[in-house]
Amino acid sequence: MEPPRWHTNVLIPCPWCGDREEVEFRYGGPVPAGYPPDPQTVDDRAWARYLYYRPNPKGALEERWVHTAGCRRWFRLTRDTVTHEITPASDASA
């Protein structure tokens, strides 16, 4: 059955379950920088960037979501932060 489209203005394409309402998901935020490969050598400034700085563009943003009320799997997509238009990632599970 089609989900009722009037309920939310963001339909999230789960790579495994298809388009579902936003309320079924938790937001994982912008894709963060990776954990420093050699943390012992990282200075305070680089730690600050790892801990506290995330992309915050007006436009295309690569981000992570988890389908909490569905398959419970994490995936990536690209969403426009003005129009909320979503482009699924070519390798969503990365």
Q: Give residues in contact with another protein (CB under 8 A).
A: 7-10, 22-23, 26-27, 29-30, 44-45, 47-49, 51-54, 56-58, 61, 63, 79, 81-84
Phi, psi of 31 (to 5 degrees): -60, 120
C-beta of 21: minimal distance to another protein in Å? 8
- How many CA atoms, within 13 angstroms, populate the side-chain half-sphere of residue 54? 12
Q: Least distance in Å: CB of 10 to another protein?
A: 6
CB nearer to another protein: give 8 or 74: 8
Helix-strand-coil split of the chain, %, nearest 5: 15, 30, 50
